[in-house]
Structure 1
């Protein structure tokens, strides 16, 4: 494994350890996934992701150690019932195997959240004002770890300001991920709470990205509409439509500012979480995205996957996952199919979302020649490339052990 920056890691760990000592009522939460594996060809596990696909199906297919440690402290409770708080989260990431490089090495440590919030404000209808770096309105598909609509950023905003039956939110930000360059002014506006039917709510959002000054760049925008349906066959169904132009083609993120308004993207997202019985749960997901480019480099991405979970006892589950990604792009249609089976011990209980889980897993994947050509060109050394763990073969498998845990 490649070492993360030791100084940053020590700072993050020190803060996580020291803050509770001075806090009178700090809330501590976190997330952990860790493990190790190997490939059928020998050596370290090498994970499967199709070039052009923005996510991968994650069960038995995560080549990293990842930790988040969060502390939240209320500083003041005012007479009007409002609360002033601070929040901080340390993030540690270290990849292994043939994973894409982020910076000069495979890992990093940072404070990915540091913000202050004045919440439960009567003047804002119970809403809040915040400023800093924050995870904010993150909408994701769990089985693929795909954050399709994510307004996390460094900036400030008004959150869930209630006016009548609706809640309004606004964020001004300059940077929405660790590796963004250049900084870009971004405005996000959301309205939530439209009651469409019993158990169904609609949320609407608009994002506008300003043109950076002094650059050969353009402004951009995107819109999102999302419907959530509760009590849907024993679970919750989510359907979202997104459309963007220029830098807004990142659809929920800050995209490439060199793209002009002739570049457009749209996306449909559909996923369903179920827990039909105490012992049978899961998630099924579908994503379709179409990217239209004036140079003809158009691309269509289709992703379909399902993870059913059945618990034989209160603590023993059998988890399986099947995922299929397909990308139509110049050079041919790329295809990847991945299957995982994972006997799992879960001391917290039999539900789909209950953690911790300790899993043993076996993962098999196959892909076509177009996928291998694209990987060899765009991501040399990764699992699908001809210089990766499986060489010129169009299939491969991994096995290993993983623990996943989240707590609040």
Structure 2
């Protein structure tokens, strides 16, 4: 994307030539590994057709990395700070040589924006412009970004008015795979104190009808999200969210198919709970229900339930186990997929659920039904669950492998 490349270049130039700038900060993420399947040899990941996520422990088939650079350039008299941020992302499938041609690897600027933070006139609010990860909410064990307003645009963020934090963003394009440009306005209000250690956030998105696209429509989406700290006294956070959308707003937090009309609606309810009961005992549980109503008869009901339990046997060794089940009710029957993973793990920085880095040995086993196989044959022939995939006509399969994961 040219705009991202240009912004990233401007970021690097400003960092190199601005001699009075403060220290350069870095952040990032890395996961890498290798594995084999009980089928034809190459590791293949298990994901149900129609489900929007998969349980990812021992079920990730790509190398992925991000490196972010942040540079504060100026500090103004009111204490506000102006700076720039850029991030490069790398992606490549396990069994493909990274020639960076077609599907064989990609490197791109996933973020490149400028910011003006802690502005006194905005009661500590921020201004930003560019391409950025913006207000991303995800379920960690399934990597499900259920409310994700990332895009290329500009906005006001966390303006404090009466104890509430208001955010307003205007954007045009979510990612490099979005074929049609569609303007989107996102409005968020956070900080409603509903109960002790509990807070509510409300978000509203409006997607404008593209003027140059035939058969396009506008859309809306709304999200209500409640976070409860120290849930049940377990020292973790419980998140409960309800979402609804029409037309291209059926993506429920990003830009969906602009050809969908107001007759196309989606609803979603989800809950996930992170806990760290003791230093050695932590994990996450998650449940999702989504209903997509389509006038053309392609309705879907997606249900997902899973959890990851992590127990530390010592300060640097822990075992993670994960179980997940997805079910999609659609024309042609109810598709089902269940996956189990066990992963002995070396964790140099401690046994907690979110301690990283982790060096894992994993074994994953999955089982699915004929409806799941038929859907894979119809919509994604050659994929893992299809009869022409790695496991042929079998309705089960397994993977074994090694993986490292780190974030900072």
Whole-Å Cα distance in 2 between the matches of residues 385 and 72 of structure 1?
44
Whole-Å Cα distance in 2 between the matches of residues 82 and 334 of structure 1?
53
User: How far apart are 1:103 and its partner, in Å?
Assistant: 8.9
Whole-Å Cα distance in 1 between the matches of residues 331 and 317 of structure 2?
46
Q: Which residue of structure 2 lines up, in the alignment, with residue 65 of structure 1?
A: 63
Whole-Å Cα distance in 1 between the matches of residues 330 and 16 of structure 2?
51
Q: Which residue of structure 2 lines up, in the alignment, with residue 127 of structure 1?
A: 125
Q: Which residue of structure 1 lines up, in the alignment, with residue 182 of structure 2?
A: 184
Matches within 5 A, 1:6-405: 24-97=22-95, 104-214=102-212, 215-233=214-232, 234=234, 235-405=236-406
Distance 1:19 1:43, change over 3 A: farther
User: How far apart are 1:369 and its partner, in Å?
Assistant: 0.3
Range with bigger deviation, 150-159 or 105-114: 105-114
Whole-Å Cα distance in 2 between the matches of residues 380 and 103 of structure 1?
23
Q: Give the SS at the match of 2:372.
A: helix
Whole-Å Cα distance in 2 between the matches of residues 21 and 79 of structure 1?
23
Whole-Å Cα distance in 1 between the matches of residues 183 and 102 of structure 2?
27
Distance 1:228 1:389, change over 3 A: same
Partner deviation per Cα, 1:372-391 (whole Å, 9 max, x = no partner): 01111111221101111100
Range with bigger deviation, 50-59 or 372-381: 372-381
User: How far apart are 1:24 and its partner, in Å?
Assistant: 4.3
Name the TM-score, length of structure 1 as normaliser: 0.93
Whole-Å Cα distance in 2 between the matches of residues 106 and 228 of structure 1?
40
Partner deviation per Cα, 1:207-251 (whole Å, 9 max, x = no partner): 000000032111000000000000113111000000000110111
Q: Which residue of structure 2 lines up, in the alignment, with residue 3 of structure 1?
A: none
Say how many residue pairs are matched: 395
Range with bigger deviation, 270-279 or 175-184: 175-184
Large movers: runs of 4+ above 4 Å: 18-24
Name the TM-score, length of structure 2 as normaliser: 0.93
Aligned-residue Cα RMSD (Å) equals 2.2
User: How far apart are 1:42 and its partner, in Å?
Assistant: 3.8
Q: Is the 8 A contact 1:33 1:402 kept in 2?
A: yes
Q: Give the SS at the match of 2:374.
A: helix
Whole-Å Cα distance in 2 between the matches of residues 302 and 106 of structure 1?
33
Whole-Å Cα distance in 2 between the matches of residues 253 and 95 of structure 1?
25
Whole-Å Cα distance in 2 between the matches of residues 317 and 178 of structure 1?
38
